[in-house]
Structure 1
Amino acid sequence: MEIKHRLPSIEEYQKLRNVVGWWDTDANATKVALNNSLFSVVAIEGETVVGIGRIAGDGGLYFYIQDVIVHPDYQSKGIGKALMKELMTYIKKTAKPGSYIALMSAKGLEKYYEAFGFEARNDDAPGVFQIV
Protein backbone atom coordinates (compact mmCIF):
# COMPACT_ATOMS: atom_id res chain seq x y z
CA MET A 1 0.00 0.00 0.00
CA GLU A 2 1.28 3.46 -0.83
CA ILE A 3 0.05 6.97 -0.07
CA LYS A 4 0.10 9.47 -2.92
CA HIS A 5 -0.56 13.20 -2.86
CA ARG A 6 -3.22 13.47 -5.54
CA LEU A 7 -6.93 13.84 -6.02
CA PRO A 8 -9.05 10.75 -6.40
CA SER A 9 -10.89 10.53 -9.71
CA ILE A 10 -14.62 11.16 -9.62
CA GLU A 11 -15.16 7.43 -10.05
CA GLU A 12 -12.72 6.49 -7.26
CA TYR A 13 -14.33 9.03 -4.94
CA GLN A 14 -17.90 7.98 -5.64
CA LYS A 15 -17.06 4.26 -5.41
CA LEU A 16 -15.51 4.65 -1.94
CA ARG A 17 -18.42 6.80 -0.74
CA ASN A 18 -20.83 4.16 -1.96
CA VAL A 19 -19.03 1.20 -0.39
CA VAL A 20 -19.09 2.84 3.07
CA GLY A 21 -22.76 3.78 2.75
CA TRP A 22 -22.47 7.55 2.24
CA TRP A 23 -25.04 9.36 0.08
CA ASP A 24 -24.63 9.64 -3.69
CA THR A 25 -23.12 12.79 -5.18
CA ASP A 26 -23.63 14.47 -8.53
CA ALA A 27 -20.63 13.84 -10.82
CA ASN A 28 -20.33 17.49 -11.90
CA ALA A 29 -20.58 18.79 -8.35
CA THR A 30 -18.05 16.16 -7.26
CA LYS A 31 -15.61 17.30 -9.95
CA VAL A 32 -15.89 20.91 -8.77
CA ALA A 33 -15.48 19.90 -5.12
CA LEU A 34 -12.44 17.74 -5.75
CA ASN A 35 -10.79 20.38 -7.92
CA ASN A 36 -11.31 22.98 -5.20
CA SER A 37 -9.61 20.86 -2.55
CA LEU A 38 -6.65 22.48 -0.84
CA PHE A 39 -4.88 19.13 -0.51
CA SER A 40 -5.72 15.50 -1.14
CA VAL A 41 -4.21 12.06 -0.58
CA VAL A 42 -5.10 8.59 -1.76
CA ALA A 43 -4.09 5.15 -0.48
CA ILE A 44 -3.39 2.73 -3.30
CA GLU A 45 -3.13 -1.04 -3.14
CA GLY A 46 -1.87 -2.37 -6.46
CA GLU A 47 -3.83 -0.29 -8.96
CA THR A 48 -6.84 0.30 -6.72
CA VAL A 49 -7.57 3.34 -4.56
CA VAL A 50 -8.62 1.92 -1.19
CA GLY A 51 -8.61 5.14 0.83
CA ILE A 52 -8.87 8.88 0.42
CA GLY A 53 -8.69 12.05 2.46
CA ARG A 54 -8.79 15.69 1.54
CA ILE A 55 -8.77 19.18 2.96
CA ALA A 56 -11.26 21.85 1.96
CA GLY A 57 -11.42 25.43 3.17
CA ASP A 58 -10.17 28.90 2.41
CA GLY A 59 -6.48 28.12 2.87
CA GLY A 60 -6.09 30.94 5.37
CA LEU A 61 -8.19 30.69 8.50
CA TYR A 62 -10.38 27.65 7.89
CA PHE A 63 -9.33 24.10 7.06
CA TYR A 64 -11.82 21.23 6.99
CA ILE A 65 -10.67 17.65 6.81
CA GLN A 66 -13.19 15.94 4.54
CA ASP A 67 -13.87 12.53 3.15
CA VAL A 68 -11.46 10.39 5.13
CA ILE A 69 -12.68 7.09 3.72
CA VAL A 70 -11.09 3.64 3.80
CA HIS A 71 -12.66 0.71 1.96
CA PRO A 72 -14.12 -1.69 4.57
CA ASP A 73 -11.90 -4.55 3.33
CA TYR A 74 -8.84 -2.44 4.22
CA GLN A 75 -9.96 -0.91 7.52
CA SER A 76 -8.03 -1.54 10.74
CA LYS A 77 -4.75 -1.82 8.81
CA GLY A 78 -3.37 1.66 9.57
CA ILE A 79 -4.49 3.23 6.29
CA GLY A 80 -6.73 5.84 7.93
CA LYS A 81 -3.92 6.76 10.28
CA ALA A 82 -1.49 7.12 7.35
CA LEU A 83 -3.97 9.34 5.49
CA MET A 84 -4.53 11.50 8.58
CA LYS A 85 -0.77 11.88 9.15
CA GLU A 86 -0.38 13.25 5.61
CA LEU A 87 -3.34 15.59 6.02
CA MET A 88 -2.07 16.86 9.37
CA THR A 89 1.44 17.38 7.96
CA TYR A 90 -0.06 19.64 5.29
CA ILE A 91 -2.03 21.57 7.92
CA LYS A 92 1.00 21.99 10.20
CA LYS A 93 3.00 23.39 7.29
CA THR A 94 0.21 25.62 5.98
CA ALA A 95 -2.08 26.81 8.79
CA LYS A 96 -1.06 29.93 10.69
CA PRO A 97 -1.72 30.68 14.37
CA GLY A 98 -5.43 31.25 14.95
CA SER A 99 -6.52 28.97 12.09
CA TYR A 100 -9.53 26.75 12.70
CA ILE A 101 -9.10 23.08 11.80
CA ALA A 102 -12.23 20.92 11.84
CA LEU A 103 -13.71 17.63 10.75
CA MET A 104 -16.99 15.84 11.22
CA SER A 105 -16.34 12.32 12.39
CA ALA A 106 -18.60 9.34 12.07
CA LYS A 107 -20.39 8.46 15.29
CA GLY A 108 -18.09 6.56 17.59
CA LEU A 109 -14.87 7.73 15.95
CA GLU A 110 -14.40 10.90 17.99
CA LYS A 111 -11.74 9.23 20.16
CA TYR A 112 -9.86 8.11 17.05
CA TYR A 113 -9.33 11.74 16.01
CA GLU A 114 -8.18 12.80 19.48
CA ALA A 115 -4.85 11.12 18.65
CA PHE A 116 -4.43 13.83 16.00
CA GLY A 117 -5.16 16.68 18.42
CA PHE A 118 -8.90 17.08 17.84
CA GLU A 119 -11.41 17.65 20.61
CA ALA A 120 -15.14 17.03 20.59
CA ARG A 121 -17.20 20.21 20.61
CA ASN A 122 -18.87 21.08 23.90
CA ASP A 123 -22.57 20.34 24.22
CA ASP A 124 -23.18 24.10 24.37
CA ALA A 125 -21.45 24.57 20.96
CA PRO A 126 -23.49 22.34 18.67
CA GLY A 127 -23.03 22.27 14.93
CA VAL A 128 -25.64 21.89 12.24
CA PHE A 129 -25.64 20.74 8.61
CA GLN A 130 -27.86 20.28 5.60
CA ILE A 131 -27.70 18.00 2.56
CA VAL A 132 -29.50 19.20 -0.58
Structure 2
Amino acid sequence: MVYTICETNPTFEEYQALHQTTGWNAKRLYTYEQLFQAICNSWYSVSIYDEQTLIGYGRIISDGIYQTFICDVMVHPEYQRNGIGTTVMEALLAHCKNENIKWIQLSCAKSKQPFYQKLGFTERDVDAPGMMLFFK
Protein backbone atom coordinates (compact mmCIF):
# COMPACT_ATOMS: atom_id res chain seq x y z
CA MET A 1 0.00 0.00 0.00
CA VAL A 2 1.25 3.50 -0.83
CA TYR A 3 0.83 6.21 1.78
CA THR A 4 1.45 9.94 1.61
CA ILE A 5 3.98 11.40 4.02
CA CYS A 6 3.68 15.13 4.77
CA GLU A 7 6.07 17.27 6.78
CA THR A 8 3.16 19.29 8.11
CA ASN A 9 0.55 19.16 10.81
CA PRO A 10 -2.83 17.69 10.00
CA THR A 11 -5.99 19.75 10.24
CA PHE A 12 -7.67 20.05 13.62
CA GLU A 13 -10.37 17.57 12.62
CA GLU A 14 -7.85 15.02 11.31
CA TYR A 15 -5.71 15.29 14.44
CA GLN A 16 -8.69 14.99 16.78
CA ALA A 17 -9.98 11.90 14.96
CA LEU A 18 -6.60 10.14 15.14
CA HIS A 19 -5.90 11.24 18.71
CA GLN A 20 -9.25 9.90 19.89
CA THR A 21 -8.20 6.40 18.76
CA THR A 22 -5.31 6.44 21.29
CA GLY A 23 -7.22 7.00 24.54
CA TRP A 24 -4.46 9.39 25.66
CA ASN A 25 -6.85 12.17 26.64
CA ALA A 26 -9.21 9.95 28.65
CA LYS A 27 -8.91 12.16 31.73
CA ARG A 28 -9.67 15.23 29.63
CA LEU A 29 -6.71 17.15 31.03
CA TYR A 30 -6.58 19.26 27.90
CA THR A 31 -9.11 20.28 25.30
CA TYR A 32 -8.52 19.25 21.71
CA GLU A 33 -8.05 22.92 20.91
CA GLN A 34 -5.15 23.02 23.39
CA LEU A 35 -3.67 19.78 22.07
CA PHE A 36 -3.87 21.09 18.51
CA GLN A 37 -2.23 24.36 19.54
CA ALA A 38 0.57 22.28 21.10
CA ILE A 39 1.28 20.40 17.87
CA CYS A 40 1.23 23.67 15.95
CA ASN A 41 4.07 24.87 18.19
CA SER A 42 6.26 21.90 17.27
CA TRP A 43 9.73 22.17 15.77
CA TYR A 44 8.96 19.47 13.22
CA SER A 45 5.98 17.24 12.45
CA VAL A 46 5.21 14.28 10.20
CA SER A 47 1.72 13.22 9.12
CA ILE A 48 0.97 10.04 7.17
CA TYR A 49 -2.19 9.62 5.13
CA ASP A 50 -4.00 6.76 3.49
CA GLU A 51 -5.68 8.77 0.75
CA GLN A 52 -7.47 11.50 2.79
CA THR A 53 -7.36 9.74 6.17
CA LEU A 54 -4.67 10.60 8.74
CA ILE A 55 -3.27 7.26 9.92
CA GLY A 56 0.01 8.26 11.57
CA TYR A 57 1.56 11.27 13.22
CA GLY A 58 4.61 12.28 15.23
CA ARG A 59 6.33 15.47 16.24
CA ILE A 60 9.46 16.93 17.76
CA ILE A 61 9.84 19.74 20.22
CA SER A 62 13.35 21.18 20.22
CA ASP A 63 15.56 24.20 20.57
CA GLY A 64 17.16 23.15 17.29
CA ILE A 65 20.59 22.69 18.85
CA TYR A 66 20.67 19.89 21.41
CA GLN A 67 17.45 19.56 23.41
CA THR A 68 15.15 17.39 21.35
CA PHE A 69 12.11 15.43 22.46
CA ILE A 70 9.99 13.19 20.26
CA CYS A 71 6.37 13.05 21.32
CA ASP A 72 2.84 12.19 20.23
CA VAL A 73 3.86 9.33 17.96
CA MET A 74 0.57 7.64 17.13
CA VAL A 75 -0.79 5.23 14.57
CA HIS A 76 -4.45 4.49 13.97
CA PRO A 77 -5.19 1.05 15.50
CA GLU A 78 -6.38 -0.34 12.15
CA TYR A 79 -2.94 0.43 10.65
CA GLN A 80 -0.68 -0.70 13.50
CA ARG A 81 1.92 -3.38 12.80
CA ASN A 82 2.19 -2.27 9.17
CA GLY A 83 5.33 -0.14 9.48
CA ILE A 84 3.55 3.20 9.86
CA GLY A 85 5.09 3.93 13.28
CA THR A 86 8.53 3.04 11.95
CA THR A 87 7.99 5.35 8.98
CA VAL A 88 7.01 8.20 11.31
CA MET A 89 10.04 7.61 13.51
CA GLU A 90 12.44 7.30 10.59
CA ALA A 91 11.24 10.65 9.24
CA LEU A 92 11.62 12.30 12.65
CA LEU A 93 15.09 10.82 13.16
CA ALA A 94 16.19 11.79 9.64
CA HIS A 95 15.21 15.39 10.33
CA CYS A 96 17.26 15.36 13.54
CA LYS A 97 20.25 13.92 11.69
CA ASN A 98 19.92 16.52 8.92
CA GLU A 99 19.90 19.26 11.56
CA ASN A 100 22.93 17.73 13.35
CA ILE A 101 20.94 16.91 16.49
CA LYS A 102 22.90 14.31 18.44
CA TRP A 103 20.78 13.67 21.55
CA ILE A 104 17.17 12.62 21.05
CA GLN A 105 14.86 11.89 23.96
CA LEU A 106 11.40 10.41 24.28
CA SER A 107 9.03 8.88 26.78
CA CYS A 108 6.89 5.87 25.99
CA ALA A 109 4.52 3.40 27.55
CA LYS A 110 6.35 0.47 29.14
CA SER A 111 5.03 -1.98 26.56
CA LYS A 112 6.40 0.15 23.68
CA GLN A 113 10.07 -0.02 24.68
CA PRO A 114 10.96 -2.85 22.25
CA PHE A 115 9.64 -0.79 19.33
CA TYR A 116 11.95 2.12 20.16
CA GLN A 117 14.87 -0.18 20.98
CA LYS A 118 14.67 -1.56 17.42
CA LEU A 119 15.26 2.01 16.27
CA GLY A 120 18.38 2.35 18.43
CA PHE A 121 16.95 3.93 21.58
CA THR A 122 18.20 2.77 24.97
CA GLU A 123 16.70 3.21 28.41
CA ARG A 124 18.18 5.79 30.69
CA ASP A 125 20.58 4.50 33.29
CA VAL A 126 18.77 3.64 36.54
CA ASP A 127 21.25 5.95 38.30
CA ALA A 128 20.10 8.84 36.06
CA PRO A 129 16.33 8.48 35.80
CA GLY A 130 14.17 11.20 34.41
CA MET A 131 11.89 13.18 36.66
CA MET A 132 8.64 15.05 36.28
CA LEU A 133 6.34 17.45 38.06
CA PHE A 134 2.65 17.57 37.38
CA PHE A 135 0.56 20.50 38.64
CA LYS A 136 -3.03 19.72 39.59
TM bucket (normalised to shorter chain) is 0.7 to 0.9
The CA RMSD over aligned residues, in Å, is 1.8
Matched, 1:109 2:87: no
Residue 125 of structure 2: aligned partner: 122
Question: Which 4+ runs in 1 deviate beyond 6 A?
Answer: none
Distance 2:13 2:76 in 1: 14
Identity of aligned residues (%): 36
Report the counterpart of residue 12 of structure 1 in structure 2. Answer: 14
Q: Which residue number in structure 2 is paired with residue 62 of structure 1?
A: 67
The 3-state SS of whatever aligns with 1:53 is strand
3-state SS of 2:91 partner: helix
Tell me the SS of whatever aligns to 1:109: helix
Report 1:1-132 matches (<5 A): 1-23=3-25, 24=28, 25-96=30-101, 99-129=102-132, 130=134
**What's the TM-score once normalised by structure 2's chain length?**
0.85
TM-score computed with the length of structure 1 as normaliser: 0.87
- Long gaps (5+) in structure 1: none
Counterpart-to-counterpart distance in 2, 1:104 and 1:39: 17
Q: Give the Cα–Cα distance (whole angstroms) in 1 for the partners of residues 135 and 64 of structure 2.
A: 24
User: Counterpart amino acid of 2:15?
Assistant: Y
3-state SS, counterpart of residue 120 of structure 1 = coil
Q: Which amino acid aligns with 1:12?
A: E
Aligned length: 130
Q: State whether residues 52 and 69 of structure 1, in contact with CA within 8 Å, keep that contact through their aligned partners in structure 2.
A: yes
Contact 1:62-1:101 within 8 A present in 2 as well: yes
Structure 2 residues without counterparts, runs of 5 or longer: none
CA contact (8 A) 2:58 2:92 kept: yes
Q: Tell me, yes or no, if the aligned pair for 1:10 and 1:30 is still in contact at 8 Å.
A: no
Query: How far apart, in 1, do the equivalents of 2:21 and 2:32 lie?
Result: 16
Q: Provide the rounded CA distance (Å) in 1 between the counterparts of 2:95 and 2:50.
A: 23
